[in-house]
Structure 1
Amino acid sequence: MIINCKVKSIDALASNTYKILLQPESTVTFKAGQYLMVVMGLKDKRPFSIANSPTRENEFELHIGASEHNAYAGEVVEKMRLALTTQESVEIDVPHGKASLQESERPLLLIAGGTGFSYVRSILDDVVANQWQQPTYLYWGAKDKSQLYAFDELVAIADGHDNIHFIPVVEHQDDNWQGKVGNVLQAVSQDFDTLEEFDIYLAGRFEMAGAAREQFVLNKQANAERMFADAYAFI
């Protein structure tokens, strides 16, 4: 469904990463873990995960990584900036995606790389808002701590909920880093003997999603039917 949105705000989250809040001009129903597409032209629609839960009514939060080498995302940020300045509307196509949060009592494993975090953030937001009680583990991988732009927020959420666990993983550590170092999929594999009972939600590049499915099903008894990622519709 194509709808018009006003750009409420644009804020920097980290280097070349922005939080954009959109206010739709009509009510839209979506599920945690779905995405929208920003309409750039007649045949040009660009997908971005919705970072908030549906319990936050009449708002879409996007996290867009737009480095100087990523014109695909950078052009979207510039479109949003212009719309914010002029107070003109932007068009979005929503909702999309079949990797949304499923009703379940199984423990949850949420895995993200980089700004793929916005996908699992929506799911975590919904888990908290609806007071789900099953164990929930969120693994977030990034190049360094500066890219973990919601670090303090996630620590606070985990501290306030006995069933929620936040495990950050960085590729490059500084002298003050106390967490895990390396690849986020390797960190998960090291921490769990089996993933047989888990519902697994994953956001990252296609090769990351493919590697996760192969490794976790083969080595950790994960159920491929209980692994969810937008990438799985294409690979």
Structure 2
Amino acid sequence: MHKVYLANSDTAFDVSEGETILAAAQRQGLNLPFGCQSGTCGACRAQVTQGRVETLGEPPALSPAEREAGFTLSCLARPMGEVHLDLHLPGAFATLRPQLWPARVIGKCWLAHDVIGLSLRLPQSERPLRWLAGQYLDVLTDDGARRSFSIANASGSELIELHLRVVPGGRFANWVAHDMPLRTILRFEAPLGAFFIRGDTRRPMVFMAGGTGLAPLRAMLQECVQRGETRPMTLFWGARAQRDLYCDAELRELSERCPSLRYVPVLSEPDADWHGARGWVHEEVLRQVPDIAGHELYMSGPPPMIEAGKRAFTEAGLDPARMYYDSFEYAYRTFPVANAP
């Protein structure tokens, strides 16, 4: 039996021999962040500040720089004696336990040629759903599967907005786009994930999105504007062509309203009349923010973008502890922990 202590809290728990840290926490009813439970999503990333752990295989979600900085994945890590972990979580996270919820579809519209926006209305409740901007939900389908989507708006209302990419073979998204009637009731589990803004520093923030990876960053920026965030913020949004910038007008208007926010769209296959930034979005970040080491970074998008960003920004001197990411194409596998309200 080994003891695990969580930094910045009074929480400590026992881990049996051969048991992973996440499995032990779940067994004892503790609310630790997790996602796929296979090491691919990085949602359970934690930093070992004291002690040692052994890992069940190579953690694919962690870069060499993250491993050198002492990060591990609690779903794969087994303690070798007493261990102290820093989860880098805000205090509010402990109060946000996932629950099952029903919601009614009240709107859907095409945001781009391959992206559909979905609006869900939550039921009235004495304990309404609250989430940290950047978190996601799992829709429960009739065949017992789950579909994970980042929540694209900030908490504080009875509405949830989702951005679904509609691709050939994407059964759920195609059903939503073409066959699902309005007023359909969907059931989902939320809030999930550990992707949200850390507010314990005054460092300027860089947000980097690829495609529909914009969704959680949009929620973060909405929250920042609502609370009057004064830290400098820059959003870089990478897409192929102008038609893929489905929230361009909204983001330009938001940056005009918020003096601390700058918006930079970046196209990898730009139109002939495009006069903005072009190329790979992570390279544009380094061109415009050469002092990235002094920033906090939030990345959301496809795995190749996330991996390229982690390598480039680490080489530029950014501490992995200041890099937070949501690798958007991985299908998270999570499990209900409570009944619907």
Question: Could you state the TM-score of these two structures normalised by the residue count of structure 2?
Answer: 0.63
Q: Structure 2 unaligned runs (5+)?
A: 1-98, 331-341
Alignment of 1:7-46 (within 5 A): 7-25=105-123, 26=125, 27-41=128-142, 43-46=144-147
2:192 counterpart of 1:96: yes
Alignment of 1:211-230 (within 5 A): 211-218=308-315, 220-230=316-326
After superposition, what is the alpha-carbon deviation per residue over 1:78-106, rounded to whole angstroms, capped at 9, x for unaligned? 57x23x1xx34110111101011211421
Q: Which residue matches 1:137?
A: 234
Q: Which amino acid aligns with 2:137?
A: L
Q: Secondary structure at the match of 1:229?
A: strand
2:168 counterpart of 1:68: yes
8 Å contact kept, 1:48–1:62: yes
Larger radius of gyration: 2
Alignment of 1:1-235 (within 5 A): 1-25=99-123, 26=125, 27-41=128-142, 43-55=144-156, 57-71=157-171, 73-77=173-177, 81-82=180-181, 84=182, 87-103=183-199, 104-218=201-315, 220-231=316-327
The aligned length equals 227
**Cα distance in structure 2, aligned partners of 1:105 and 1:8:** 39
Structure holding more helix per residue: 1
**Cα distance in structure 2, aligned partners of 1:117 and 1:206:** 14
The more displaced of 39-48 and 60-69 is 39-48
The more displaced of 69-78 and 178-187 is 69-78
Q: Structure 1 unaligned runs (5+)?
A: none
Q: Secondary structure at the match of 2:299?
A: strand
**Cα distance in structure 2, aligned partners of 1:88 and 1:15:** 23
Q: Secondary structure at the match of 2:284?
A: helix
**Cα distance in structure 2, aligned partners of 1:190 and 1:88:** 46
Q: Secondary structure at the match of 1:169?
A: strand
**Cα distance in structure 2, aligned partners of 1:77 and 1:38:** 15
After superposition, what is the alpha-carbon deviation per residue over 1:176-196, rounded to whole angstroms, capped at 9, x for unaligned? 211011111111121122212
- Residues 67 and 184 of structure 1, relative CA distance in 2, 3 Å threshold: same
**Cα distance in structure 1, aligned partners of 2:121 and 2:245:** 26
**Cα distance in structure 1, aligned partners of 2:258 and 2:215:** 20
The CA RMSD over aligned residues, in Å, is 1.8
The more displaced of 138-147 and 39-48 is 39-48
8 Å contact kept, 1:36–1:93: yes
**Cα distance in structure 1, aligned partners of 2:142 and 2:203:** 41
Q: Which amino acid aligns with 2:136?
A: Y
